[in-house]
Structure 1
Amino acid sequence: MRAMVLRAPGGPLRPEELPVPEPGSGEVLVRVRACGVCRTDLHVVDGELREPKLPLVVGHQIVGVVERVGEGVERFSPGDRVGVPWLGRTCGRCRYCRTGRENLCGEARFTGYQLDGGFAEYARADARFCLPVPEGYPDLQAAPLLCAGLIGYRALRMAGDAERLGLYGFGASAHIILQVARHQGRRVFAFTRDGDEEAQRFARRLGAEWAGGSGQRPPEELDAAIIFAPVGALVPLALRAVARGGTVVCAGIHMSDIPSFPYELLWGERQLRSVANLTRRDGEEFLALAPEVPVRTEVRPYPLEGANQALDDLRSGRLTGAAVLVVGR
């Protein structure tokens, strides 16, 4: 099979021919049709997440068709369309797994990081952690739902019932969650890179009440803010923008160092919290909600061999919406 392979962090992905994997007990072999390109992929490739399996096939927003099933798999059959998300496996035994917090499992393994992912024509996955893809979403439009959507949805839940919601970093996740937030009756304020007027117009077109640079103050106080950009310097800015009792949610798996800030920014019962990974329940809930909104993902397609270009476009901020690799049909 064709695959784009990471041999060493900091280097480019290399096109290679690899054997098609065999599904083991409890696993499915998925023929990949599309795979979203996520900022977490960028953190893996650039060496900011430091525990990858090497060599590695990156990619964790996989949409494809079950080709074969391993022993004991009853949930899916050949021909079923499935999604494979970031959370690829957990122990199922620890206190986190037993209390509905499997996203915090110390033995969790992640697709495209410790398990080979979807920048290839085939991927092997634990059937228990695959998700049925909602009908009505073409493969390319469904792919961003599997991480940008799922992580954004978990972050939105952590923001509570905030009416005035700020989104810092207007990329793949924010453009999805803005639609969900508007569906829920919230008022959304979008923060982009300073001077990125294209992204600001995009946010307003999707329903943002206000859009400006991340260094600007919104026209009124926020009840909560979600930071999608991996920039620690945004934390004090977001705390300054939220009202007393407000919440700032850091949604990324990696962020640059947070600078020191005066206690007065946190005082007033403001909360600062992170979101770690996702649970299967998050996936089931969000993929049921997305067609109701309905969420419409805006994507830029790339061929499989264009993965390095997609990552570079994401790294440089040249993307509007989400990048998706077109792998097969």
Structure 2
Amino acid sequence: MPTSGDGPVRTMAWVVEHPGPIASAPLGRVERTVPEPGPGELQIEVAACGVCRTDLHLAEGDLAPRRPGCTPGHQVVGRVVRRGPGVQGFSPGDRVGVAWLAGTCGRCRYCLAGRENLCPASRYTGWDLHGGYAGYTVADARFAYRLPEGPPDEELAPLLCAGIIGYRALERAELPPGGRLGIYGFGASAHLTAQLALARGATVHVLTRAEGARRLALELGAASAGDAYGAPPEPLDAAILFAPVGDLVPVALSALDRGGTLAVAGIHLTDIPGLDYQRHLFQERTLRSVTANTREDGRAYLAEAALHRPAVHVQRYGMDRADRALADLAADRVTGVAVLVAD
């Protein structure tokens, strides 16, 4: 517990100092005071934090920083240390998860309609608020998830973004029961989403440039695994684009059967080239984006994951190697998901 009779307790944290290419070392490790929980907040000692491509986008400046010196990380597993005033439902020692969605207004028409992911006042862990690349963090208790005691920290962490966002993307893709799903890109979120779709009875075809990712896809039960710009062996009822590559949008749309839907799962995407209406969209093909998630998405996915128990393929890094983890992610040296574990 972070207490001391000699003054404020200090902890180490990574911050985005100067957004830029990962080779320019945009992350720096600093010492700062352990954050105190405010009203409605939990103070959490971080045990593990998943490394997301969104963290890379923030570090490299693809996402404009919303606060200077922000600590990335929004797939946080830890233990409650202290509760701020007014917190209910959590106690010190509880195992909790902190995900991307950190807060909403609760009053706008989107929140009132159950679409809080579209709240104009929404805030995000590791972008608006300091995240989990640190020894301690604080979070709004209303947006924290209670986690089971069994699975290892590093296997739970990726479920809190990679899993939840993949769940929402699969819902947005409207895959029919027993349908044919194409997955473009096969990193952290995709390898969990593929297992979710397979557990629901889908046929999954993976299209990705990395040979190691193709092997993993087949090991997990995909019916095929080919090059990202290739064609799947059969028309697709639905597809999800996880790779942040706009050039793949027309490729994926061309692979859809009549009435199929392509959901784009990333928060950042390079420019999409021109689409040919007859070839890419006609016959009621649909192109959709995915924006964050709701807490109901999180609860629903974690409950479903507890039933089908996905195999989480983890590359572990010490918390002192967050810069290396992001560099490996940028260079496609991560198969599955990178996770930082407490020093």
Question: The TM-score by the shorter chain falls in which range?
Answer: over 0.9
| TM-score where L is the length of structure 2 | 0.94
Give unmatched runs, 5+ long, in structure 2: 1-10
Please give the alpha-carbon distance, in whole angstroms, between the structure 1 residues aligned to 2:84 and 2:39.
5
Question: What is residue 251 of structure 1 aligned with on the other side?
Answer: 265
CA positional deviation for 1:284: 0.4
> In structure 1, which of residues 7, 15, 31 is the aligned counterpart of residue 45 of structure 2?
31
> In structure 1, which of residues 3, 6, 9 is the aligned counterpart of residue 13 of structure 2?
3
> In structure 1, which of residues 274, 280, 287 is the aligned counterpart of residue 289 of structure 2?
274
Please give the alpha-carbon distance, in whole angstroms, between the structure 2 residues aligned to 1:3 and 1:56.
10
Q: Give the counterpart letter for 1:185 in structure 2.
A: G
More relative contact order, 1 or 2 (CA 8 Å, 6+ apart): 1
Question: What is residue 74 of structure 2 aligned with on the other side?
Answer: 60
CA positional deviation for 1:246: 0.2
Contact 2:74 2:98 in 1 (8 A): yes
Aligned CA-pair RMSD: 0.9
Question: What is residue 322 of structure 1 aligned with on the other side?
Answer: 337
Question: What is residue 137 of structure 1 aligned with on the other side?
Answer: 151
Question: What is residue 227 of structure 2 aligned with on the other side?
Answer: 213
Please give the alpha-carbon distance, in whole angstroms, between the structure 1 residues aligned to 2:201 and 2:67.
43
Please give the alpha-carbon distance, in whole angstroms, between the structure 2 residues aligned to 1:161 and 1:200.
22
1:123-162 superposed matches below 5 A: 123-162=137-176
> In structure 2, which of residues 222, 238, 246 is the aligned counterpart of residue 224 of structure 1?
238
Contact 2:44 2:82 in 1 (8 A): yes
Please give the alpha-carbon distance, in whole angstroms, between the structure 2 residues aligned to 1:307 and 1:212.
31
Task: Say which is worse superposed, 302-311 or 9-18, in terms of deviation.
Answer: 9-18
CA positional deviation for 1:118: 0.3
The reply to whether residue 114 of structure 1 matches residue 124 of structure 2 is no
Please give the alpha-carbon distance, in whole angstroms, between the structure 2 residues aligned to 1:168 and 1:136.
32
Question: What is residue 196 of structure 2 aligned with on the other side?
Answer: 180
Q: Give the counterpart letter for 2:341 in structure 1.
A: V
Q: Give the counterpart letter for 1:234 in structure 2.
A: L
- Tell me how many residue pairs correspond in the alignment: 326
Q: Give the counterpart letter for 1:142 in structure 2.
A: L
Please give the alpha-carbon distance, in whole angstroms, between the structure 1 residues aligned to 2:271 and 2:282.
21
Contact 2:62 2:268 in 1 (8 A): yes
Contact 2:95 2:149 in 1 (8 A): no
CA positional deviation for 1:134: 2.9
CA positional deviation for 1:291: 1.6
Please give the alpha-carbon distance, in whole angstroms, between the structure 1 residues aligned to 2:29 and 2:247.
36
Q: Give the counterpart letter for 1:28 in structure 2.
A: L
The reply to whether residue 169 of structure 1 matches residue 189 of structure 2 is no
Q: Report the secondary structure of 1:57's partner residue.
A: coil
Q: Give the counterpart letter for 2:203 in structure 1.
A: R
Contact 1:134 1:288 in 2 (8 A): no
> In structure 2, which of residues 32, 37, 41 is the aligned counterpart of residue 18 of structure 1?
32
Q: Give the counterpart letter for 1:272 in structure 2.
A: L
Question: What is residue 105 of structure 1 aligned with on the other side?
Answer: 119
> In structure 1, which of residues 93, 97, 113 is the aligned counterpart of residue 107 of structure 2?
93
The reply to whether residue 47 of structure 1 matches residue 55 of structure 2 is no
CA positional deviation for 1:6: 1.2
Task: Say which is worse superposed, 57-66 or 291-300, in terms of deviation.
Answer: 291-300
Please give the alpha-carbon distance, in whole angstroms, between the structure 2 residues aligned to 1:302 and 1:201.
23
1:228-307 superposed matches below 5 A: 228-264=242-278, 265-307=280-322
1:193-204 superposed matches below 5 A: 193=209, 196-204=210-218
Contact 2:217 2:225 in 1 (8 A): yes
Task: State the Cα deviation string for residues 177-220 of structure 1 (Å, max 9, x = none).
Answer: 11111110000000111xx3221111000000000001111111
Please give the alpha-carbon distance, in whole angstroms, between the structure 2 residues aligned to 1:223 and 1:161.
6
Q: Give the counterpart letter for 2:19 in structure 1.
A: P
CA positional deviation for 1:136: 2.5
Q: Report the secondary structure of 2:308's partner residue.
A: coil
CA positional deviation for 1:53: 1.1
Please give the alpha-carbon distance, in whole angstroms, between the structure 2 residues aligned to 1:203 and 1:176.
10
CA positional deviation for 1:56: 0.8
Residues 35/151 of structure 1: CA separation in 2 closer, same or farther (3 Å cut): same
Q: Report the secondary structure of 1:18's partner residue.
A: strand
Give unmatched runs, 5+ long, in structure 1: none
